[in-house]
Amino acid sequence: MLAWVLKTVNVGRLGVALILAIVVWGYVIATQYPEETITFNNVPVNFVGFSTNLVPRQYSAQVVKVTINGAKEKVNLVQLGAILPVMDLKSCTKPITCIVPIRLKQMPDNVSNYTIEPESIQVQLENVISKDLNIQINKVGTVKLGYQQDEIRLDTNVVKVSGPESLVDRVKKAEVTISLNDRDSSLQGQVPVVLLDDKNQSVLDKELELLPINVNVTVPITFKLNAKTVPIRVVTTGSPAYGYVAGSSIKVMPTLVTINGDPTDLGPIEYVETRPVALDNATTTVSATVLLRVPENTVLSTKSVAVEIGITMAQASIPVRITVEVVNPPLLRYELRPNVVTITLQGSYQLLQPKLPLDQIKVKVDLAGMGAGTFEVPLLVETPEGLEAVDLPKITVIILAPTRATATPLPPPTLTATQRAEPFPTAYTPAPSTPPVNSPLPALTSTPLGLVNTPASLPSEPTIVFVPTSLPTIVRSPSVANPSTPSNNSPTTPPVTKSNN
């Protein structure tokens, strides 16, 4: 019994000692070798194990958070490159959506455990397809003037594009771009192929595979001078302001342009047009530098020209009927044929639109120094400023000569014996023959002093003054009733009365 007790006590002591040893060891480890937890964020996930006919697309996540734990002095030595989370897709054999757990490809040294968030990722698998596309050529610019570009040649006209079905379906064409700006020599070399969608936007994705990536291009360029020089026609758009017109003058610098191209293309070209020049509401000269319209398949010697288009007030004309005035009329009777004329006033459209100031329009003829006769005289027209009289008619002026009056023979009047003959300043002297005193007087004619241009310019019976050479001054007065009948008391000779002189 005693032996059993002693034996039992020794085993208990051994167990207690072992537990104490473990605790002490744990304490020593915990104090000497503390643990550390480190988290790595945004670690990319690698996909492995999927079929070559499938490709993963549309992931629920492509990066994860990895947390590792271990001895501090060891864990701190772990680098991000040692953390490799992977998804094994070997169980996904069809183009479906799979949910696959994530694990580390290998445990880093001195790492006791780890966690990954999220623990799994949902991924959509797509079929891998391919298709062939014809290469299209995008030519930029033209060769130098006087040179001709021949047919462009590619070493292959087809490329193959492979990748996820959704990406391949998005690709609509393959294209190469060839720049010919001002080239004067042939072009040969490799040009990259670009994939484009239906909106001509580039489709770039690392999951797309293109074969070949580049193609060899040959562009022969030869010197060939086929030229034609034609005038430049200015094209306008819009209209000047109200009352103005365009085109009073059109200047183009240069006036001619040389076209280069194939003779069949140059043949029908007679001129080159400009791009439209806007004239909207213009009131003054419009100046602009405009581009030329390049005829198809040709090259122009200049791309733009300087244009200057004159803008002026619109001109118009209107007929006006007006009476002719006489300047410096003659003393003789005259007549104008016609005395009312129609003239045409010409000037700017704006001046002719309001009511015309007729009081400022004068039509005259100047008759200064003209005698009897028929004449054609010019019209003298006064107009408001800015207006001009055109298409003036001819005016005929008839100036009448004065009529010569004839005196009726009269018997001698009563004379005064002592009366002395005194001539008048305008006396008329008859012929030298002296008629008898009582004989009838010869017929006399007299020229009036002048005819004034009035309807009654000629008196019905002019007064005639004359002085006989052998008689006293005799004055015939219209008031004498009948001088030819002598009085019964009259002597044979007329009485003579002395003058008070």
Q: Which CATH architecture has domain 227-313?
A: Beta Complex (2.170)
Distance CA 354, CA 318 (A): 12
Q: What are phi and psi of 173, to 5 degrees?
A: -160, 160
Domain residue extents for the chain: 35-118, 127-223, 227-313, 315-399, 407-501
Distance CA 280, CA 11 (A): 118
Q: Which CATH architecture has domain 35-118?
A: Beta Complex (2.170)
Alpha-carbon distances, residue 487 vs 251, 348, 413, 414 (angstroms): 104, 85, 12, 11
The CATH class of 315-399 is: mainly beta
| Pick from 319, 315, 293, 295: nearest CA to 304 | 293
**Range in 179-188, 321-330, 380-389, 486-495 the model is least confident about:** 486-495
Whether 175 and 160 have beta carbons less than 8 Å apart is answered as no
Does this model's pTM top 0.85? My answer is: no
pLDDT reading at 467 higher than 70: no
Q: What are phi and psi of 90, to 5 degrees?
A: -65, -20
pLDDT reading at 414 higher than 80: no
Percent of the chain scored above 70 by pLDDT?
A: 74
pLDDT reading at 287 higher than 70: yes
pLDDT reading at 406 higher than 90: no
Tokens of 20: 């104490």
pLDDT reading at 357 higher than 80: no
Q: What are phi and psi of 130, to 5 degrees?
A: -145, 155
Placement of tokens 């996904």 in the chain: 92
Mean pLDDT estimate for the chain: 76
Distance CA 451, CA 404 (A): 11
Chain segment 10-37, per-residue pLDDT in tens:
666 667 777 777 766 655 555 555 778 8
Cβ-based burial of 325 (10 A; exposed 0-12, middle 13-18, buried ≥19)? middle
Tell which phi-psi region holds residue 116, choosing left (phi > 0), alpha (psi between -120 and 50) or beta. beta
Tokens of 234: 């200015």
Q: Provide the residue type at 491 as one letter.
A: P
What pLDDT was estimated at residue 93?
80
The domain over range 127-223 is classified in CATH as 3.40.50.720: no
Distance CA 330, CA 375 (A): 13
